Amino acid sequence: MLKNRIIPCLDVKNGRVVKGINFVELKDAGDPVEQAKIYSDGGADEICFLDITASNENRDTIIDIVRKTAKECFVPLTVGGGIRTIQNITDLLLAGADKVSINTAAVKNVDFVKEASKKFGSQCIVVAIDAKKVSDNKWEVFTHGGRNKTNIDAVEFAKQIELNGAGEILLTSMDKDGTKSGYDVDLLKAITKSTNIPVIASGGVGTLDHLYEGIVKGGASAVLAASIFHYGEYKIKDAKEYLNSKKVSVRL
Amino acid sequence: MNVTIVDYQSGNISSVINSFTEVAKGKINLAVTSDIKKIKSSDKIILPGQGSFKSCVDSLNSIDGLVDTLKEFAITNKKPLLGICVGLQMFADVGYEEVETKGLSWISGKVSKIDNQNGKFKLPHIGWNEIEIQKESKIFKDIKNKSHMYFVHSYEFVPKDKSVISATTDYSSKIVCSIERGNLFGTQFHPEKSDKEGLKIIANFINL
């Protein structure tokens, strides 16, 4: 039976791990390579790096981190943030990333998803959707780390990127991110019901029960969280044991 | 010992290189190349593969003499070869991803899309799944039945001769996830991404 994945996410800025509260007010919390190794040794099913300010800065920093991490972690490594070109993807994959997560570039031009999945295979193309609730059961796609409104319906966009070859969706609720009040379960449900590719839930985890909700109520194939693991509140193992005790199948 | 990872521009093989480098720890000569001479003088070969069946077969064929050299190595000379993911799938006669494409015909069978039961099972099959060992395999030494391995694929290898199957995994049906026939090994999952258990499989192959 396929297991539900637990993915710790490391937001990286200037080569250091940070975690934003609603994407502002960044705190410094460690060396990304060391953190990734701790997570992988602790049973993380995958590791995710998000280079949160990559659009404005030198990309070599993240490539160097990926190169070092990939030599020590033998679980899948996903890298996102500032990916604009096929060359950006090539550089990250050569450095040792297994998947890349594309956000703004996918919204700007869905053909980029098609081109990337054709060239590298769907298995390594994740599309990150940042969505904000605009009315009852309606969410809109935002870009640039949640700063720019697009007027694109999140559910329609998810269907479109699936058609264009995305292998997975990394779905972040902008309303919930950093609040620790749980995933936006309705948003998750809306997206998981209208697509046939795996969805990774993101944004809002504060307790282990939130992980349970994301999988069982939201239909997510994987749950991503940052701060609850980051500041030592919970270990990956705690999360897995909790889910297992609630009859959610995980890799123990 | 000379171990060669065949680099035929089949997509991302950094993880394969990293994991074999880690396991080999300088004790073996590890080469990453498509050079025919180097392949001929190898003791063991790893044939990775990412992307579609067609793109991998096309890439193999685009390198002059590569397919014949691999065949001579694995089939005529019966030296150990490990295919990973599409690297394994290409052992088949034919694949149906994108368009019908001829495979290497090393192990009779076909590669077809996983039956997702009308959307009941999401595709690609991504993540950690348990392997059910079907027969003793040299690369499963010290690997417990129901160990977790990391999968990413939408197509499955269906061999005609079921006796080659060394493990299956459960995803909508029993999917073939590992084969062994003499010196020929293949895994549908990615040992290079399957944590400590995956590294053990790599070590078992190196230590054959």
Q: What is the ipTM of this complex?
A: 0.91
Q: Exposed, middle or buried: residue A13 (CB in 10 Å: 0-12, 13-18, 19+)? A: buried
| Number of Cβ atoms within 10 Å of the Cβ of A85 | 12
Q: Annotated catalytic, A130?
A: yes
**What are the angstrom distances between the C-alpha of A181 and each of A210, A226, B183?**
8, 14, 54
**Distance in angstroms (rounded) separating the CA atoms of residues A40 and A8:** 9
Interchain proximity A221–B198, CB inside 8 Å: no
End-to-end CA distance of chain A: 13
List chain B residues with CB under 8 Å of A69: none
Poorest-pLDDT segment among A194-198, A212-216, B17-21, B25-29? B25-29
Residue A21: enclosing H or E segment and its boundaries?
Answer: strand A16-21
SS3 A101: strand
Residue of A nearest to B168 (CA): A1
Q: Can you tell me the mean pLDDT for B110-139?
A: 94
Tokens of A107: 């919204």
Res. B25 pLDDT band, cuts 50 70 90: confident
Cβ contact B137:B167 at 8 Å = yes
**What are the angstrom distances between the C-alpha of A155 and each of A66, A128, A129, A194, A219?**
32, 13, 10, 7, 15
**Distance in angstroms (rounded) separating the CA atoms of residues B190 and B131:** 12
pLDDT at res. A25: 47
Q: What is the DSSP letter of B144?
A: P
Tokens of A101: 């997560």
Low-confidence ranges of chain A (pLDDT < 50): 20-26
| Amino acid symbol at B110 | K
Closest by CA position to B151, among listed B135, B169, B133, B136: B169
Active-site residue identified among A91, A130, A175, A184: A130
Interchain proximity B123–A197, CB inside 8 Å: yes
Residue A186: enclosing H or E segment and its boundaries?
Answer: helix A185-194
SS3 A243: helix
Cβ contact A10:A47 at 8 Å = yes
Closest by CA position to B90, among listed B137, B33, B50, B45: B50
Instruction: Match 């993240």 to its residue by tokens.
Output: A62
The minimum CA-CA distance between A238 and chain B, rounded to whole Å, is 18
Tokens of A82: 């500032």
Cβ contact A39:A8 at 8 Å = yes
Q: Can you tell me the mean pLDDT for B94-105?
A: 94
pLDDT at res. A53: 64
pLDDT at B32 over 90: yes
Question: Which residues are within 8 A (CB) of B161 and not within 5 positions of it... i.e. 6 or more apart?
Answer: B107, B108, B109
pLDDT at res. A26: 44
The minimum CA-CA distance between A240 and chain B, rounded to whole Å, is 13
| Amino acid symbol at B119 | G
Interchain proximity A120–B126, CB inside 8 Å: no
| Amino acid symbol at A120 | F
Rounded to two decimals, the pTM is 0.94
Question: Which of A1, A2, A188 is best to mutate for the B interface (most B CBs within 10 A)?
Answer: A2
Res. B197 pLDDT band, cuts 50 70 90: very high
Tokens of B2: 């000379």
**What are the angstrom distances between the C-alpha of A11 and each of A108, A176, B158?**
23, 16, 41
pLDDT at res. B52: 86
Residue contacts between A and B (CB atoms, under 8 Å): 98
Res. B102 pLDDT band, cuts 50 70 90: very high
E strands, chain A, in order:
5-13, 16-21, 24-28, 47-51, 77-80, 99-102, 125-135, 138-143, 148-153, 168-173, 199-202, 222-225
pLDDT at res. A83: 92
Tokens of B87: 């690297």
The minimum CA-CA distance between B181 and chain A, rounded to whole Å, is 26
pLDDT at res. A21: 40
User: How high does pLDDT run on average in chain B?
Assistant: 95
Poorest-pLDDT segment among A221-225, B26-30, B153-157? B26-30
pLDDT tens track for A94-123: 899 999 999 999 999 999 999 999 888 888
pLDDT at res. B184: 98
Res. B12 pLDDT band, cuts 50 70 90: confident
